[in-house]
Structure 1
C-alpha cells in the first residue's frame, strides 16, 4: 500500500448525524443513542479521503478532566498509510487547544495497537484485567501522553 500523500484530499472533521451508518459499520461498541449524544457533544471525528469516509475517532473524558481516546478505527482499505497517526495528531492538537495537558488511551494486550501508540509518544501508565468479562479477555493496557506542560500539582504529573 502507498503511504499518505500530501496531495491526497484528506479531511479530518467532527462527525455529523449523517455519519451514523458509516460510524456503526466500524464501531460495534456504542449504541445509536450514545453515538448521537457523542456526535452532538463534538466528541467524534471522521476521516475523509478523496470524498470517502475512511476512519473514525471517538473520545470521552476520564475522571471528567482527561481526554481519553475510546475508539480509533481506520477502514481496511486505508490502513498503513498514516491516516490513524493523522487522526490522533488532530485530536491531540484539539485537546491541547482546549487546555488539556495530557491524553489517555488503552488497548488490549493482545492487539498490536500498543506499538502504534508507543510510536506516537504514548507511555504505558497502567493496566487492568477485565475480571467482569466472562470470556476472560487479555489485560487492558493504558497509555498517557503529555500534550502541554502540566500545571503545579497536576494529578497525572508523575506519569508525564
Structure 2
C-alpha cells in the first residue's frame, strides 16, 4: 500500500539527495510552501512529486520521481492522483506539466493520466531539445 502525504521538514535531507537538481534552498522553500508530496511504502520514502503554480495560479507538476525498484508498482499514480485531488480541492480547473520532446516514456505517462499536448518552447542554453507542455482539465 502507498501512503501519500505532504513533505515535512524531516524529509528535507532525503529530498535534497533524491531531487539533486533542485538544491537545498529550493527544496526547503518548496517544503515550506507545501509543494512536495511524498510517497511511502512500509514506512520508507519511495517517491516524490514536486509542483509549483504557473503564473502563480495553474498547478504545474515540475517533477515526479519513483525510486528504482518501485517503478510500475502504483507509486507514481498514487502521487499524481493525490496531487490532482488536492489541486481540485483548492479550486483548480486545469493542471499543467511538461517534458523534453525526446522523452517518449514520460509523455506516454502524461497521456495515460489524461494530459494532452498543448505546445512546445525552445530554451536555448538551458536544454538541447524543446520542452513539450501538457494540460489536463479537472473541472
User: TM-score, structure 1 length as denominator?
Assistant: 0.82
What is the alpha-carbon distance in structure 1 between the residues aligned to residue 23 and residue 17 of structure 2?
12
Partner SS state of residue 79, structure 1:
coil
In the TM superposition, 1:75-86 aligns within 5 A as: 75-86=67-78
Which moved further from structure 2: 116-125 or 31-40? 31-40
Stretches of 4+ aligned residues off by more than 4 angstroms: none
Post-superposition offset of 1:22? 1.5
What is the alpha-carbon distance in structure 1 between the residues aligned to residue 47 and residue 130 of structure 2?
25
- 1:138 aligned residue: 129
Gaps of 5+ in 1: 1-7, 149-160
What is the alpha-carbon distance in structure 2 between the residues aligned to residue 93 and residue 117 of structure 1?
16
- 1:64 aligned residue: 56
Q: Which has the larger radius of gyration?
A: 1
Q: Is 1:12 aligned to residue 24 of structure 2? A: no
Cα pair 2:35 2:51 within 8 Å, conserved = yes
Corresponding residue to 2:109 among 116, 124, 129: 116
- 1:48 aligned residue: 40
Provide the aligned C-alpha RMSD in A.
Answer: 1.1
In the TM superposition, 1:91-130 aligns within 5 A as: 91-111=83-103, 112-130=105-123
Cα pair 2:50 2:64 within 8 Å, conserved = yes
Gaps of 5+ in 2: none
Greater strand fraction, Structure 1 or Structure 2: 2
Partner SS state of residue 95, structure 2:
strand
Post-superposition offset of 1:40? 0.9
